[in-house]
Amino acid sequence: MTNFPMILITIAILQFTVIPLFADLNRTHAANPHWPGHARFHVVTQVLTTSAMGALALFFLWSGRVERELGICIAMMLNVAALGGFFISAVSTRFYGGTVAAPGGLAATRIGKLDGNVINFGLSAILLIVGRLLSL
């Protein structure tokens, strides 16, 4: 098997591991003076948790410490947990009064009816699925 599937999976992992560090740990989110302190705490917790999950996924994917197929499976499970949390939160916003993007935030950019968060994490999910299917 070539490394191409693992590269696709790596790109997907980096999308939810690195991009939120810049998109959410700034004045529109974590340091937003209009947000309650507890909401800012939760966004920092969420970003650090998903980034740690991504770092673990990359470790299992590339370290060689576990058999390659097991590493891919563990990485995929961590990815599903991180992206699943996003998509469940996104589709249930009406139940808790949330919005997918913050006004003025990095992900507030829209393409049609989709905002930057949905585009980024949707592309990440597609890359994960394609990478996994190619690795079988």
Residues 29-58, mean pLDDT to the nearest whole number: 96
Percent of the chain's residues with pLDDT above 90: 81
Band (111; pLDDT cuts 50, 70, 90):
confident
Q: How far apart are CA 24 and CA 70, in angstroms?
A: 32
The pLDDT assigned to 1 comes to: 60
| Mean pLDDT for all residues in the chain | 92
**pLDDT above 80: residue 106:** no
pLDDT band at 27 (very low <50, low <70, confident <90, very high): very high
